[in-house]
Structure 1
C-alpha cells in the first residue's frame, strides 16, 4: 500500500490563532499566572510546548502540576505579557525600553526562540547611542554570540564614541568584560593610546568598586605610545597608576621615551601600535619634470591604493633607506640647497645627513651623521646595525670605506674597507651575511663589474664570491627564502635577471623582464618582489615610468599590478607598518 504525506502550513498557523482566541475569551484556560497582582489566564499544554520551564513544572510529581494559580517572582508583568503574546502568536514585540524585561521573562521561562529573537534585535538595531547599553544587556543574559558582535561594533566605532561625553554615551557604564575586550584588542582603528588610557582611568573612577579590575586593564595599556609629557602628568594625577604592577610599566615607558636614539632596538608590545598594516613606502627621487619629490608615498598592496604618508625632511636623490624596529632611516644622497648669493637658485650637494622617521607619532629626528658624505652608495641592516658602503663624495671621488651605525651609542664607526673604491653597486643581507655586487670601480669608470663579495660581521673581512653572469651598475638586489635575486641596472642591453644560491655559490638566469627599466624602487613582501617606477628607453630617450610590476619568485612570473600617482624615478623603497585608518 502506498502512502502520500500532505502538509498544511495554514493548519499550523491556525492552531496558534485558535489558542490566542481561546485565551482572549478565557475559554478552556486551565492555569493562571500571577505577577505582582496581575493575572494571566493561559493553557498548560501550550505553555509546556513553548517553555522548558513550564514543561518541567507541569510534570505529575510537582506541586505546581495541580495548582490553579502559579505565582512568578522573578519576572515583571510587562515582560511576562510580551513573552506570553509571543507564545500565543509567534510575534514578539521588542524595543530598547522593554528588552531587559523581555529577556528576563524569556530566560527565566526558558523560551529559547524568544531569547534568540532578542539577541537578533540587539544586533540589528545597534547604533552609537545604544551599543554600550546593548553590550551590558547581552552580557547580563549570557548572549555570547550577540555580545561578540556588539563588542566588535564598539571596537570599530570607539573613535567616534570617544567624541561624545563618556557618561552620556554609556562608555562609563560598560561592563568589565567588554571593557577588557576593548583594551586587549589589536584592532582599534583611529584611537590613540592616550585616549584609551584616559577612558580606562575615567571608567575606574566612575565606580570605586571597579578597583579590582585596575591591574588587569591598566597592564594592557601600551604606555610607550603615550607622549612623555602626558604620561608623566597622568602618573602623578592618578594613584592607581602608582600601584606596583602598573608603576613598573609606566617607568619603563618613561625610560624608553628618554632614550630616543635607542628606541628602534627597544621595541616591545608596550611600544607597538595596535591595528598595524604593512605598506610599501617610497622615499625621495624625482618626478618626470626633474623635480625632487617632497611626499613619502605609502602603498597598500591589498587595496592597491596610494596615499601620502608624510613628507621628507630633505628633498633627496641617490640616497639609501632602511628600516629597523619599524623606524625609517634616510641616509646620505644629494640634497637641493639654495645658493648663498641667489636664494632662488638651488644646487645639489652630497650630504652625510641621516634622518629617522617614527610613523607612530609622524615625527622626524636627526641621529648622528655618517663619517663620509655619500651618494650612489649602498646600505643594509645587519644585526641591528646600519652599514653604509662605498659611493661617491661631493668631489666625485669614490669611496672604499664602509661604516656601521651603532644605535645604542648613536655613533658611526669604520669597519673593513671594500676591496675597491666603487659606486653604483647593490647590497643585501641574507642569513646574517651581507652581500655586495656590481658597480663601477675607481680608474675603471667605463667598466661595469660583475664581482660579488660577502661580509660576515664575525669574521670582519670581505670574501669574493662567484661573479654575476651580467655586469650591473645602479641595479638592485633582494633576498627571499635564502636566495638572492639581482635585477636590472642602468644601460643593460637585455632585461635579464638572475638568482644566487649562497650555499652553492652559484648564479642562475631567470625569466627576463618584458621591458627595460632602471632607476626604479624595489621592495619585498612575502614571496613577491615589487619594482616601482623608474625610467625606460623610448625613442632613444630616458622616460620616467608610472607602472608597478611584481615578480613572483615561486612561479618565476611577472605581472603589472598598479600605477604610481605620478611618474617617479630614483626612489628608494622599503616596508613600514602604519596604524590602519578606517574610512572616516
Structure 2
C-alpha cells in the first residue's frame, strides 16, 4: 500500500489527563514503582522521581545533577513539617491540596523552597484573599522574605489602605525600614497628616534606643500638611526640640502654611498631598506658536509623557507669561503680543476651558516673567507693548517697572523697578524675594547684549539690589527652584577672534570678533551666593525647566514633546527617548515654552 496518499487525523481523549493523574496518584498511594523515599522529620514518604521532577524544579535539579541525592534511594528533607510536605505531595500528584489560614504560609514557603511555581501562585492568591488588619503586616514581611512580588503588592496595598486600623502594638513591632516604607508612601490612606506624626512618635517612644532613629523616621512625616494647631504642639515636643534637622522642617512648615508659594523650597515630598486626600499634582505645559497656544497637562509619570492627553488650545497667548502657586489649580496668564494688558485666570480642574478676566495690567508687555509670592503676582521685565487700538500696537522698549497684582483684591499697583530693564530673562521666587537672571538689555534681542546680572527684588521693601553675578552673560533662559537651590539653563555668547588669514585681512578690522552661542546650565545657592556650573542639556531651545516630585525636568517642545530628567549626583541628563532632531523646517514650531506644577 502506498502510504504517501494516506491521510492521518489526530484523535484526542479528553479524559486522558485525568486518567494519567488519577493513575499516578493511585500508584503513589499503593507505593508501587516508587524509586525514592523522602524522609521528613522521621516520617517516610515513598515517591516517584519522575513525578517529583516534573513539577518541582528543585527535585529536577537534584535528580539530574551529579549529586549524592541523585543516586540515593532515601533523601532527608530538613526545615519542613511532615503535614506540610504531605500537602505538597498531594498537589504534585493530583494538582489539588487543602490549605487554610493556619497552614497557607507554611505550604507556600515549602513550595517556594521546592520551586513549585503553580502552588506558589495558588497560595499567594488564597492568602491575599484572606488579608486582615491583624495579619497584613506579617504577610507583607513574609512575602518580602520569599520575594513574592504579587503578594507583596497586595499585602502592601491592603496595609496602606487600612494602616490606621492596625493595632498600635503591631505598628510598634515594625522595623525602622518597614515603618518608613509605609509612612513615606503617597498611597497611605489617611484623613490627616497628624495621624502619621502620631504613629511615628509612638514608634520612637516604644523603645528607648529608637531615639537615635528619630530624625530618619520623622523626616518622612509631611509636616507642611499638619494642622496648624498640631504643628504648634510639636514645636514643644522633647523629641523634636532635641533634633535640629526636625526643628528646621517644622519651621519651614510654618512658613509654608503662611505662604504656600514656598512649595519648591521644601524638601520633597514635604508639601506633596497623599492620594487619600483626593488631590493630584500635575505638570502644566504652555507652548505658543504663531497660530495660537496650547495647554497640556500630565500626571506624576513625567518620564513617560503623552502630552496630547488633556490638551486645550487657545488663541492670543504669544509671548505671554504664565504661573501658578503649585499647591492649587489656579493658573494665571498675563500680557503677550496679542493682548499685552490682559490678565486671565483658569481653573485646571475645569479642563482649562473656563477663563476669568481679571483687572487690566498697568503696563502692557510681552516676553516678561511672572511669579507669585504671598498671594500676589509679580510682573518682571519684558518688552513694553503700547495698545493704540485693536489694530494698532507697537513695542516701546524694554520695561524695568515691576508691578504687583493682589489676587484677593483684584488690584494692580506699581512696586518698584529693576536696576536694568531686561527681556528673554528668567525669574523665580525664593523666600520673599524675586530673583531675575540674565536676559537681553537691547530691544533687538541679540545675544551680544546679554547680561550676567542677578537682580534681586524684595517683596517686603520694594527695593531691588544686585546679587552675585552669573559666571557668563546669558539670555533666552529658564529657571526653577528645588529646595535651597535655583537651577538655570540658557544661552551664553562666547566671543572669539576671527582667524587672521590673508583672505580675511582685507575684509575685516584688526579687532573684529565673532560670537558663538553655547548652552549653559547653572546651580545657584542664594543663601550662600555660590554658583556651580553643571552639564547642560542637549537642547535649550523651545524648552522649559520645572521641578516635579523632587527632580529637575527639562521639557523640549518640537515636532513632538521630549522630557529629560537631571541627576544631580551624577551631573547627567536622562531621557526615555531619543534626542529631538535639531533641524525642523516646520513653520509652526513653538516660539515660547513654559511649564509649572499645579495641584487639584
For Structure 1 versus Structure 2, the TM-score category normalised by the shorter chain is 0.3 to 0.5
TM-score normalised according to structure 2 size: 0.46
TM-score, length basis structure 1: 0.47
